[in-house]
Chains A and B, each alone.
Chain A
């Protein structure tokens, strides 16, 4: 039962353009969402998060959008840079239910082409 899904295993974007990574979830109890970035041979690192009381959170080049009715969130990176090439994981938790574990998606490999 995949509660968090990233349906695109890979995405290729030209440097300077916008990268849009998508994530869908099925559990309506999820109320906190995060994006993590992972380089090869390293652990995932926290990128940006959003609470279900918001529909947008912005941090520099990174913006996360949340559409609760569609159970969908997306990460926008603009402008994309070669250093953004990595695997991106979305994650969710049901904080309001006292659940502290994060449920992760399968990841999307983003490649930024010069």
Chain B
């Protein structure tokens, strides 16, 4: 596609429920990143996929968070048993050239 597409754009859920956030990267981009931005905070790195290499999961805040990337394209970020502190905008980015990331518009998650 023309850009990085994320869905849903907004998600409101109850504490304890599981959520899935989807990212469609730019076609041909080999690298895919997940970041999140909590209110008033910067962008916090979560996970990075590069080709067929093992993902860099060093930024995932707890074992309730997981992500996969199927077929080297679409990625899903899953948050199990959501907590209020998980409320944030979750941003996906893809890149072809190292460091120049193209971001999607983000998925705003609100946990009540």
What does the 1/0 interface line of A32-54 toward B look like (CB < 8 Å)? 10101000011111100100000
Contacting residue for B105 out of A6, A42, A46, A100, CB 8 A? A42
Chain A: which residue is nearest B48 at the CB level? Answer: A101
Q: Is A89 an interface position by the 8 A CB rule?
A: yes
A14-22, A75-83, A102-110 - the one binding chain B: A102-110
Q: Are A95 and B99 in contact (CB under 8 A)?
A: yes
Chain A residues contacting B56 (CB-CB under 8 Å) are: 100-101
Q: Are B103 and A89 in contact, CB atoms less than 8 angstroms apart?
A: no
Q: Restricting to A56-113, which residues have a CB under 8 Å from any CB of B?
A: 89, 91, 93, 95, 100-107
CB contact under 8 A between A46 and B101, given known A101-B48, A101-B56: yes
Give the B interface residue count (CB, 8 A). Answer: 25
| In contact, A45 and B103 (Cβ under 8 angstroms) | yes
Q: Could you list which residues of chain A lie within 8 angstroms of chain B, going by C-beta atoms?
A: 4, 6, 32, 34, 36, 41-46, 49, 89, 91, 93, 95, 100-107
Some 12 contacts from A to B, beta carbons below 8 A apart, are: A4-B42, A32-B99, A43-B93, A43-B106, A44-B103, A46-B102, A100-B48, A100-B50, A100-B56, A102-B45, A105-B42, A106-B42
Query: With contacts A100-B98, A104-B42 known, what are 17 further pairs, Cβ within 8 A?
Result: A4-B42, A6-B42, A32-B99, A43-B4, A43-B106, A44-B91, A49-B99, A89-B43, A91-B43, A95-B98, A101-B33, A101-B48, A102-B99, A102-B101, A104-B45, A106-B40, A107-B43
Chain B residues with a Cβ under 8 A of chain A: 4, 31, 33, 35, 40-45, 48, 50, 56, 59, 91, 93, 98-106
